[in-house]
Amino acid sequence: MKSSRTTWQIILSHTVTYFNILNLILAALILLSGQYRNMLFMGIVVANSLIGIIQELKVKKLIDALSVVTATKARLITENEIHQIPIEDLKINDKIRLISGDQIVADCTVLSSEGMEVNEALLTGESVPVHKNPGDILYSGSHIVAGGGIGQILHTGEDNYATRLVRKASTKKRAASEMQDSIKKIIQYVSYAIIPIGILLFFIQHFRANQSLSDSLVNTVAGVLGMIPEGLVLLTSVSFILGVGRLAGKKALVQEMEAIEALARVNVLCLDKTGTITTGDLIVDKILPLGSTKKEIHSIMDGLVFAFSETNATGQALQRYFNDTRPYPITATVPFSSRRKFMGVTFSGKGSYVLGAPDFLSRDMAVLEKSEEYSRQGFRVLLLASCQTLADSPKSLMNVRPIGLILLSDCIKEDAKDTLRFFARQGVSVKIVSGDNPATVSSVGVRAGIPGAERYIDASTLENNAAGLKDAIKKYTVFGRVSPEMKQAIIEAYQSDGMVVGMVGDGVNDVLALKDSDCGIAMANGSDAAKQTAHIVLLDSDFSSMKNIVKEGRTVIANIERVSALYLTKTIYSILLCVLFIIIGKPYPFTPIQLSLIGGTAIGLPSFLLALEQQEEVTATGFLRHVLRISLPGALLLVGGLAFIQLICIPAHLSDLLVSTLNLIVGGAVSLSLVAFVCHPMNRRRFILCTGITILFLGAVLLFPSFFGILPLGNIINVAM
């Protein structure tokens, strides 16, 4: 599947924009005026476009290919032989040979099964291999972990179940960014005002204030230019890029820069159990003797678990735990199969033993009740028993005597508990949405320390409607037996309840939820579809990396929230000044080069230095409200100061050059004071910053007065005297 936009479309989208066109028009007006020094603002325009193009091309490269099925060949059965063909050559009703270890390349119907067991975890989330009988469906993208058989092709290519899931995720939702959305709203509102205000301002400057055409053009450009918060867009882009770079060093690939902010603002985090909280492996949790000793159980199991060459996840867990590989003389074996639900060995001179499902091997009610009790707690329970002789069927076993219960559980990642505690401290509510057994998932959640994990539900019993899901998400923390579509519906239910939702997953069954979440996070060892659909990929598949992403996001947001007030102050006072000077019919108080001086010393330089600080104090009041709380008073103070100068300039007989000088000094003083306010609480680094920009502003005013169109300091003193 390909990205919806070509490289050329991406370049056009970042260059041919409303404000870029507007800036080019403003630059053309400056060219007409002949005052070329006032064109410095075009540098920011070019930088903004380049950063946007590079960012989206990087994302395009990552999401252009969504793939689920990695196998390229299939074993086609013809009348006389079996031969391999490319999967794209398969046709409906073709018969293919399947053996252990194969990836299923197309949806099939099972024609014959030789103890076939299939791992469908990436598609369904169910981590337990599923036994397949004739007539059952095999889904493309799943793997055969035991046995084999023959399948008949049901679907090919784009019609396969896994491919249909991925197709739904091909146009994924972009990561949520309250900050970017707020900035876009500001730009949208400003865009409505720029053209009418600009036209009115020009006519007032030229016809009522009696300015020359050149000066009228420059003053109009200054008024319009100040209304555009372009530096803020550049600041957010650069801040996100720096954050992406720092996270790349911590093994986290950010595919959309806005995802850093989205995860930092997440208040509900949905997890798929396998691959996030658990490793996907099993561990032996407890040994419960039944009329025997643990030593006896170990003695038998040490020989039994190594009697077979083929093992599944359960066998591997047993081999890791019972690892004393002394040579036991074995005279007979019965391998495990999903049909008989047990395995068995006969040791020379020691007797016969079986290991399997308690309800298949025993009729002892006490044993079965205990087994059921532990099963409800989420354990996988195996019964070890002795018998008279081995048999092919549990019903044929004679004199079965229970020896002990072996409890297995999912292996929780070492870093999971610490990471989950971190999210709890941050006020993030963690939910588990898994295709696995709800009791098993709940047990994992409780052991991992997730608050409320004992409240679970079988999601297959839920109706996919807004009312029912809204009630369920408030009651339960763990959702088991969740289909891909239900995962997506649960994510949307939380979002409709006003939550910012993150989703962590690694399988094809997660792609719909990853697509629609505010921030989707995938593990690098998961399916290609999950990785390409997600906004963030944990390259080392380390769940603890989530802490670094959240901390980095909070740092970026906190810094931008603090310095955004500097940019929006300029936007607000520029709009107010345009309106004011249209009403009073006087020349606009600033030229573009003067605004460049104020913007460079009191906005651009301090904002980029402050954006490099490391702090994680994100405001809880919302980005726009927080910024306006600082910028609006600052803008009103500056406009009030300039209005006062206009009131006194006529009775005090002040020259136009002196008025322009006073305007620049007042504008600079208010802007520098706002920087000092934003820097509170003041530290050594911030004090040096405030002192440095003040010296820089004063130096420019004192050393280059004619360049900025103001009076030298000596002349101002003489006028005052």
DSSP calls for 415-461: THHHHHHHHHHTTPEEEEE-SS-HHHHHHHHHHHT-TTTT-EEEGGG
Find the farthest-apart pair of alpha carbons in the chain and give their distance in angstroms, rounded. 120
Q: How far is CA 453 from the centre of its chain?
A: 23
Asked if 213 and 206 count as a contact pair (C-beta separation under 8 A), the reply is yes
Distance, in Å, from the CA atom of 397 to the CA atom of 399, rounded to the nearest integer, reads 7
Three-state helix/strand/coil letters over 352-371: EEEEECHHHHCCCHHHHHHH
- Which residue bears the tokens 């950063």? 51
DSSP state of 602: I
Q: Could you tell me which of 122, 704, 203, 664 has the C-alpha nearest to residue 435?
A: 122
Q: Are the CB atoms for 514 and 270 separated by under 8 Å?
A: no
- In order of 83, 110, 133, 185, the CA distances from 114 in angstroms are 20, 10, 9, 62
Residue 12 in 3-state DSSP? helix
Tell me the C-alpha distance between 491 and 558, whole Å.
27
Contact 132/337 with Cβ under 8 angstroms? no
Q: b/e string for 92-110 if b means 16 or more Cβ within 10 A?
A: eebbbbbeeebbbbbbbbb
- Report how far apart, in Å, the C-alpha atoms of 206 and of each of 27, 579, 592, 658 are: 19, 16, 17, 21
| Cα separation, 286 vs 592, whole angstroms | 76
Note whether 367 and 383 are within 8 A (CB).
yes
Question: Is 89 annotated as catalytic?
Answer: no
- DSSP string for residues in 194-230: HHHHHHHHHHIIIIIS---HHHHHHHHHHHHHHH--H
Which entry of 272, 285, 410, 542 is annotated as an active-site residue? 272
CA dist 569 and 40 (Å) reads: 20
Q: Cα separation of 354 and 333, whole Å?
A: 10
Q: What's the rounded Cα separation, in Å, for the pair 424 and 448?
A: 12
Contacts of 166 by beta carbon, 8 Å cutoff, 6+ apart: 1, 66, 68, 508, 511, 529, 533
Report whether 384 contacts 296 (CB < 8 A): no
Taking CB atoms within 8 Å and a gap of at least 24, the contacts of 451-456 are 451/424, 451/477, 452/477, 453/477, 453/478, 456/480
Judge whether 474 and 463 are in contact, CB under 8 Å: no
Q: Rounded to 5 degrees, what angle do the CA atoms 606, 708, 235 make?
A: 25
Q: Residues with catalytic annotation?
A: 272
